[in-house]
Copies of this chain bind each other. A is one copy, B any other.
Amino acid sequence: MVSPVYLRIVEDIKKKINSAELKPGDTVPSEKALCDEYGASRMTVRKGLAVLANEGYIYSIPGKGNFVRKPELNKYTIYYDEKNNSINSVDQTKLLEVNIIMPDEKLASDLQITKNKNVIMIRRLFYTDGAPVAYDVKYLLYQKGMPIVEKEIEHATFPEMLSKKVPLFALKKELVIYSAVPGDDIKRYLNIYDGLALLVVEQKLYNTENKPMGLGITYYRGDYIKLQGISE
């Protein structure tokens, strides 16, 4: 068997879609027709169609047929790790502060808690080649038995900080990316004397019930970081 029948079906239909022989909205030949065309059983044909559906090429409407999907022109995948990006990576971390605080209005609202709940605040500086490149603040819901071990915190990424408490599979995450002009404190931390801009990345972690578990904000020197996204 050179390549499985179902993969040949996949490749053939992909080719037809990529060459515009099949256009978005068109119906793919029916399962019966494909069975005849390839001399295959229906389960084999359906396996091929399932692959195409998973990769976003087609969708099916029961009772009607399989149809070519409109491509997701706006969808990108981005791999973000606060200490690594496409042009540089952090090689040193300095823990500025670990503290338990009471949240202010905005933080309480971001974390969906009341203002009398305890929050762990972690402030760090990231360095590359000895120079400070990012200022990082994390806020984590304080939970009994939460290990606040400085050694563990200093070098951890945000999801890792929760790994003792939550199975990482159960984490939902959200990024918000924007640019800003640094305030005086951040200018001092990052040795910025001129008009350098910041790239700011906010990270929010949620548990499976969509309850916020933590908020992280990382302020990068604009000349340090580029984020990269790719389609597919």
Copies in the complex: 2
**A170 nearest CB across to chain B (Å):** 5
Q: Which residues of B contact A75 (CB under 8 A)?
A: 77-79
Q: Which of B86, B175, B181 meets A195, CB within 8 Å?
A: B181
Q: Which residues of B contact A78 (CB under 8 A)?
A: 75-78, 175, 229
Q: Which of A20, A78, A178 is most buried by chain B, counting CB atoms within 10 A of its CB?
A: A178
Judge whether A80 and B74 touch: CB under 8 Å.
yes
- Mostly, the A contact residues are mixed
User: CB of A100 within 8 A of chain B?
Assistant: no
Q: Which residues of B contact A77 (CB under 8 A)?
A: 75-78
User: CB of A109 within 8 A of chain B?
Assistant: no
Judge whether B176 and A86 touch: CB under 8 Å.
yes
| Contacts beyond the supplied A73-B159, A176-B229: 8 A-B pairs with Cβ under 8 Å | A17-B169, A43-B43, A71-B169, A77-B77, A174-B228, A177-B177, A181-B222, A195-B195
Chain A to chain B: the 3 pairs with minimum beta-carbon distance, closest first: A197-B197, A179-B179, A175-B229
